[in-house]
């Protein structure tokens, strides 16, 4: 099922929007500070109102791009966080061109229709050159049995199935911090993937 994301922003039906970056992001940026510090171009796909991209931008000299399909989200991100080195663009991850040595994923993968997940992985492999990184907080279990997504849950084995061919898994850990309502074991998984040759 595909979602009209612009309509969701227009109607204010945005339960994912928490007004702040993911609470685990400060830890992730500190844990992987060398990768983030060395990066030249960083992409945050499905950035929404841009809180994650803004926080990442504050700890790197890289150019950071927040990309989202919905112009309403990008308009809000641009008006909240307008600064040099931090850019906002309306675009589709499946067709967006470019080359990024670091990508941060948070609630974009789970928003993609299940049948397009292989395309998402292929897009990451296209956008990230050999040696580049995909760091993500993957939403494994939205815990909404009986309701239709998005967000669409995923298992660790399924994630490996999508990314193993073109990325190697360098590190994974359940977040110690998360938003209210996402707590509990097995709900989310932080993962660092490195692009293979
Ligand atoms: C669940 S929201 C999460 C937004 C943000 N990551 C957050 O946590 O606040 C998913 C976002 O992905 C965007 N999105 C969905 N499909 C996309 C695509 N193909 N390319 C770029 N953005 C997309 C939507 O417009 C929406 O803003």
Of all residues in the chain, what percent are helix, strand and coil, respectively (each to 5)?
30, 20, 45
pTM greater than the 0.85 cutoff: yes
Residue 66 CA to ligand 1 center (angstroms) comes to 10
How many other CB atoms are found less than 10 A from the CB of residue 121? 21
Domain ranges for the chain, please list them: 26-180+190-195
Atom of ligand 1 nearest to the CA of 94: 19
Q: Among residues 85, 87, 99, 100, which one has the least CA distance to residue 42?
A: 100
Q: Give the tens place of pLDDT for each residue, 54-88.
A: 999 999 999 999 999 999 999 999 999 999 999 99
Residue 48 CA to ligand 1 center (angstroms) comes to 6
State the fold for domain 26-180+190-195.
Rossmann fold (3.40.50)
| pLDDT grade for 146, boundaries at 50, 70 and 90 | low
DSSP 107: S
Q: Would the CB of 25 count as within 6 Å of ligand 1? A: no
DSSP 83: B
């Amino acid at each position: 099922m595909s979602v009209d994301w612009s309509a969701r922003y227009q109607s204010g039906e945005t339960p994912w929007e928490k007004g702040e970056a993911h609470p685990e992001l400060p830890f992730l940026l500190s844990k992987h500070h060398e990768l983030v510090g060395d990066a030249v171009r960083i992409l945050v796909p499905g950035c929404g109102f841009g809180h994650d991209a803004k926080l990442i931008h504050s700890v790197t000299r890289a150019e950071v791009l927040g990309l989202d399909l919905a112009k309403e989200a990008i308009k809000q991100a641009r008006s909240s966080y307008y600064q040099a080195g931090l850019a906002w663009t309306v675009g589709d991850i499946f067709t967006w061109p470019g080359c990024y040595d670091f990508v941060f994923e948070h609630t974009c993968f789970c928003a993609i229709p299940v049948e397009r997940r292989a395309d998402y992985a292929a897009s990451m492999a296209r956008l990230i050159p050999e040696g580049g990184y995909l760091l993500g907080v993957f939403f494994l279990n939205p815990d909404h049995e009986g309701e239709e997504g998005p967000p669409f849950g995923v298992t660790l084995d399924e994630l490996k199935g999508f990314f193993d061919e073109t990325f190697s898994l360098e590190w994974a850990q359940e977040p110690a911090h998360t938003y209210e309502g996402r707590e509990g074991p097995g709900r989310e998984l932080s993962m660092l993937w490195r692009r293979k040759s």
